[in-house]
Each structure stands twice: as structure tokens, then as C-alpha cells.
A and B are shown apart, each in its own frame.
Chain A
């Protein structure tokens, strides 16, 4: 049983834009095991598996399947070697039935309904073959993907964060299926950041951090603490000078907030917290745990199903963004291209997005006073040291860092009371990152309230006066950063509540789920 079926040697992947995703990874999977691939955002888990399944080509390194050296040019070549990957975002045609999706792309003679039915019978993976995929819940869709792979004779099945959109019952069913497939000799690679799950279902675990393997272990010998520490173990943190916070009034209060995601499932499950003026409240967590939905609900871009948002003492639940802005809210959105900027508009035009109805910009004909606006844009450019060809150049012509500075500059020029900053330094170089972080601290020192949401744990630890860790739409705990060890943060990011950890009782992995 211990034959190595997958062996990846010294894999390096550098993306065309210069991002180093993998820095020499050795990875080994044995035949017939469930292998957990654990890590934070950006650890390189998905990149490594995309290389194995032929979607990406490594910059250097070698891959051996059952001892034979291979080099895949496409996913279909990997499929011929029995390797298939089920992605986080499923690749199904919503308007087709389950059956049509399973046989899609196969030559007609290979499409056999009986064979699929037999396969479902054997593996216990049941799906309604004649139902349209768009009518089926996410868990069933995922099963269709798995059947699709099995029907193509996949022996090595890769699952990328498969439990992200599943309900607890669906998760349980999935794990049952995986164990069943293992009995039938299939090899499974399970990508996740959830500690409980990796401990429950896998045989062995490889932990990745920032493109390197930081640990390999038999699951039986692993403890959540040890995995947590490996997963988030810090490298040298750049320190930012920070005066002690002087928190004042609670200016943003969230009470029992419930929000759904685009799939209609609960993404935020009854969160309550308050952000005080003069403090930075950070929310850490692996992406996709409801942070985006939380920010959108607070800033008026997503419906609040239940609960309350109170801004500057006023109930603003489900109010429009423009009303919130008038009350003193600034929002630095996580996606500057999709939300923060209209790239084809000029720097000037972008410098007033959201404040374009302010009196000082308007003439008597409801016309925009371009002279005043250009001056406003020039002030932002100077104050925030933005490199731009000019105020009438399209925002598209600015570099990523300068685009983000334009967004931040605009948002801070509103003289806000509450600043919601989501992933404010994502994709920026070191200088721009430091600049924006210092700015947020400056705003805090001026008595503003800052809600910082970031997947970058360093950022949260450096900037926050208080922090929470979010997991599956809930806070695992709220504390001061200096009170938390990496091990505790890692445990919370992996799904353990702070009370469970600090109560001193060893978290019991499999038992609780």
C-alpha cells in the first residue's frame, strides 16, 4: 500500500508578473491514501495542484507518476494519466442536466447512462441525472463533478477547498464518500485550511507556507496546535511605530448580523461587534470565510437579512451607500478594479466617485465644476504622492499602487469618521504597502475608527488594536494581537473557538464535527 504514486520534485513556479508562488516544493502522495494539503492564502496549495493536473506548467521541477516522469501540456493529458481536479468554482453548465454535464466532451459511444448508474451504485454517490444543474444545491453539483472525474477513470482525485460552500451535513456526506473512494483504491488529495477537517479525513498531511513545504506528518501523529503553528509560523515582521490607542465612543456597531453570499447561503452568521473611534479593529481569517460579504453588508452594497448596522448612532441597516457616505463612512474596497475605480474614466472623474454630489463640486445647473474637481484631484495626487500623467489621464494609465493610492486618497479626502478598509495593500509593492499602513495608523491617531479586513495576517497583527479571527461566517474570538500566540491564531483560522483553546482543554479534532 505504500507505493508512491505521485512524486513532485523541487517544483518552482514563477508567474509571468514575477510573483513567486512555489519556491522548490517536494511533494509525495502514496497510492490509496487521502492526503491533506494544508496552508493559508497564498501558500501555493492551489498552484501546486494546478501544476499536477496540467493546468499550469512549472517554471522548473519534475513530476513522476507511478515512477514514470511526465510533463503535462494540458489538463486532458493529466486526465489520461488518471489525474483530475475538482475546483472550488465548479465547471458545470447550469442549463444542462447532470447527465449531460457528466458526458460533456466525451465521444458519443463512451456516453453510457447505464455505466454512470452503475458507478453511482458502486460508490454511493447519488445524483438526479435528469435534473438541471442550476436547480441543484451546491453539494450535489460537487458530487456531479466527482462522478464526472470518476467516469473518466481518474485514479488521483484532487479536491480544492471542497467544503467551502457545503453545509455541515453535506460535508459529512462528502467525507463519507471520500473514505468510500479510498476503499476502492482511489488516491485523494484534499486541499484545505480547515484543521478539523484535515485531521478527520486524511491519512497524511503536507503543510505549505509561502511556497515552501514546512511540514509533513502522519495524521495520526498530528495535533491541531502543531499544524496551526506550521501553517501560520511568522517570518520576520516589519515593525511599524504605533502610539497606544485612545479609543473613544463606539461609532460602528454591528448587532447579530446575518448576510447571504451570491449562492444564497449564509456567509455571515450572527456577528456582533463594535468599532470605537481612535482604534483599528482588524478581522483576520482565510479568505472566503464571509469577510467580503460582511464588508459589503456594512457598506450598503449587500442586503442584510437579519440584524443591525449602527453608524454614528444611527440605524443604517440596508441603507444606500450614498446615505452612509453622508454620515461619514469611507470604504476602501477589496477590489479596486471592480469597485473602487472606473478605469476608463479620468483621474479627476475617479477622484469624486461617491462624493460627486457634494455641494462644492456642483454648479447651479447641477453641472460639475471641473475646475474645482481638477484642483481636488491635484490635491490628492500631491498629498498622497501619486505618480500620474495628469488629472485628465484615464485611471487605467496608473500603476496598481498608484491606483490604490488614488482610491485611498479619495476615501480619506472625505474626512470620514469610520473607515472600512478591505485588503487595502493587496498586490502592492513594499513602499506603497508601508505608506498605506502608516496612513491608516495616522487616521486612527486622529480619532477615526478603522475596520481593517485583511487576509494578510502580518497586516492585521501590525495595525490592529483589537482583532478578531473569522471562520465560516463567525468570529472564533476577539482579542488584542499581543495576547495571541501564532499557535492560537492558527487554531482560530483553522476553525477552533478561542474559548475552547484558552479553557486549557486540548481541542478534540474529529470528535466535535
Chain B
């Protein structure tokens, strides 16, 4: 009896992983064809990409990969917790901006040194949560679709933070950025000479908490039940409104924390730069990571490292083979499309299976 249970679960997990691997391969193949059509050597480009992301001889590249993985790991949790509650929360981008703003706010105060970091984390994640909660309240009490509200809130957050960058917290020495987090409030660098700071550890810990929450705590149980079958959840005495609000709050905390980490843990500037250029896209990349990780915290860890590797490897690709950096975005985009339509993958698979049956 236990063995049949094992096989059912194992087969399902395997199918899910296979779907993701197929999507990744499709992404690389199509991008390779694009490079080839553009007159580049895709194989050389991919080798360079690998060298500059997972090089075994120089830890610098691996450190880059992990430092890029850290923020998207957190914004992926925002999306994943939303999906688990039956929501399509794509507001991590704006919530991350607000988190970063919270960190800069704390940086502007004069405080005893050891207080900067914990206070920045608390205020930043609370601001992220509050930003997420706006969409949550609109959804639960006014029936506003969260896709629409979070997209709009992303832009509102963008302009609020951009305004604050220029008019509230401008850097007196360098007009292209805000004031910096004072050294006492910075996350320690893990490998000297790289951008890899303790933000990677903060992210890992938070992912661990999210995992525990979703699978080992009552609230997580209620969130998952609501996402899978809201009527049954209601029947089970669960208040779906409450669980949805919690999902927005937890997601907001994750994204807000990612914003704080980008300020307190990203050398050299430790600040928000012009047009939020050092924050831009981290929220949306989280969606990619979450989908790649099957919206599961434990899947999100390797998925975020993969996306981090693409980002750091893209530089190598450009240096060695002249392939433009943007090609990596194409790979990412194609993978998402291949993932977003698992129906197509399933269709192809069933066609192949049917053909096999016919042959037999």
C-alpha cells in the first residue's frame, strides 16, 4: 500500500519537473536559433554563459550568480504564496520599491549603529506588506481584480519612490542616487570583492519560513485550501477573505524585504539609483522564478539560482562572443511562454503517446 502512494506522488512530481526541464530546453534551443540567425555562435555563447555563472576556478562568478538569485527568490515567494491562495499577485515589483524606500527612510535617520539593519528590515517589509494589502483589500471587499490593481499599484509605487529619490532623500554628492545606507546598517559581504552579501542568507531563511508556513502551519493549510477550492474551504470553516488578505500580507513582506536587501546588501551604492534602475524588474523576474520553481518554496531556490546564473552569465556571453545582453531576456521570455502553456507541452506529449500506441 505505501508503495502505490509513493508512486502516485513520485509520478506527479516527476511530470512537473519534466515539464519545467522541457520548457528550459525549448528556451535555449529557440534562443540559440536566434543567435545563429544573427550570425553568432550559440554554442560558444552558451559555454561562455556557463563559465561566467558557475565557473569552478573563480568563485567570483558563482558569487555573482547567488547575489542575483537573492532578491528574485523573495519576489518569487510573493507570487507563489499568491498562487497558493488562488491569486495572481503580480505586485511584487511595486512592493519591492516600497521596501527599498522604507530602508532609505531608516537610513536617513540618525540612530545608534546596530539599530539600522533591524529597523530597515521591519519598516521596509511593513511598507511592502501595506502596499500589497491595498490590492488585497480592494480584491476582498470591492471585488477588484488583483491583476489590474497590482499593475497599477506598481506604477504608483514607482513614481512615489522616484519622487522621494529626487526630492526627499537626494544624495548631496551624487545626484544620480539617494543617500546611502550607513555602513553600520549594511549586510556583511560573504565573499570579499564580490556583490554577494548576507542578503542571500536572509532570502534563504525567508524561503524556509515560507515553506514551513505553507506546509506546516494552520494558516498555510487554510491558504492552500482556499486556493485549490474556495467553496470547500468555506465549508471547512475557513474564511477565504481572511486567508487571501494574509497571502497579500506575506507576499508584501517578502517583496519589501527584497527591497531592503537591495539597499542594505548591494555594493557599491547601497542606495536607490536614477529611475530605480537597480530595482527595476526584480519583481517581475520573481514571477519567472516562481513559475520555474512550480510555485513551491523548495523549487524556488534552484530556480532563482538558475535565473541568477542567466543574469551573471549574460555578461560573459557579451564579453566572449559579443552576443548582446538582451538575448538572455529572450531566453527567459521563451522559457516563460513554454511554461505558461503547459497545456501545449501536455498536448505534444499526448500526441507522441498516441502515435506510440498507433505504432504498437
Contacts and interface: CB of A to CB of B under 8 A. Distances in A.
B239 A320 contact: yes
Contacts of A119: none
B221 A368 contact: yes
Contact of A389 (B8, B12, B221, B235): B8
A390 B1 CA distance: 7
The SS class assigned to the B binding surface is helix
Contacts of B224: 342, 345
A348 to B, nearest CB: 11
A356 B220 CA distance: 11
Interface string A480-507: 0000000000000000000000000000
B228 to A, nearest CB: 5
B234 A353 contact: no
A365 B235 contact: no
B92 to A, nearest CB: 25
A366 B216 CA distance: 9
B274 interface: no
A393 B8 contact: yes
Contacts of A321: 234-237
Contacts of B231: 338-339
B110 interface: no
Interface in B1-53: 1-2, 4-6, 8-9, 12
Given A357-B218, A366-B218, A339 B235 contact: yes
Interface residues of A, number: 34
A423 to B, nearest CB: 15
A389 B5 contact: yes
A354 B235 contact: yes
Contacts of B225: 342, 345, 349, 353
B228 A345 contact: yes
The SS class assigned to the A binding surface is loop
A366 B238 CA distance: 15
* B interface, size bucket: 20 to 34
B340 interface: no
Nearest to B4: A389
A333 B228 contact: no
B345 interface: no
A339 B232 contact: yes
Contacts of A301: 234-235
B232 A340 contact: yes
A245 interface: no
B217 A353 contact: no
A325 B238 CA distance: 12
A111 interface: no
Given A341-B232, A354-B237, A356-B221, A393 B5 contact: yes
Nearest to B235: A339
Contact of A353 (B212, B232, B239): B232
A343 B219 CA distance: 19
A349 B5 CA distance: 15
Interface string B205-227: 00000001000111101101100
Contacts of A365: 217
Contacts of A331: 235
Contact of B9 (A333, A366, A367, A393): A393
A390 B237 contact: no
Nearest to A370: B216
A177 interface: no
Contacts of B9: 392-393
Given A345-B224, A349-B221, A367-B218, A390 B232 contact: no
Contacts of B234: 301, 321
Given A390-B1, A390-B2, A394-B8, A342 B233 contact: yes
A385 interface: no
Contacts of A368: 216-218, 221
Contacts of A325: 237
A344 interface: yes
B216 A362 contact: no
A397 interface: yes
Contacts of A76: none
B235 A344 contact: no
A320 B221 contact: no
Contacts of B233: 342
B208 to A, nearest CB: 14
A294 B238 CA distance: 21
Most buried by B among A344, A390, A391: A390
Nearest to A296: B235
Interface string A54-90: 0000000000000000000000000000000000000
Nearest to A387: B1
Nearest to B220: A368
B218 A356 contact: yes
Given A345-B228, A354-B237, A389 B218 contact: no
A322 B229 contact: no
Interface in A237-257: none
B219 A366 contact: yes
A276 B219 CA distance: 37
A397 B228 contact: no
A397 B239 CA distance: 27
Contacts of A340: 232, 235
B4 to A, nearest CB: 4
Contacts of A338: 229, 231-232
Contacts of A356: 218, 221-222, 236
A349 B238 CA distance: 14
Cβ-closest 4 pairs across A and B:
A390-B5, A322-B237, A353-B236, A389-B5
Given A321-B237, A365-B217, 11 more contacts: A320-B237, A341-B229, A342-B224, A342-B228, A342-B229, A345-B224, A345-B228, A349-B221, A357-B237, A367-B216, A390-B6
13 contacts: A321-B234, A321-B236, A322-B237, A331-B235, A341-B229, A342-B224, A345-B224, A362-B218, A366-B218, A366-B219, A367-B218, A368-B217, A397-B8
Interface of B: 1-2, 4-6, 8-9, 12, 212, 216-219, 221-222, 224-225, 228-229, 231-239
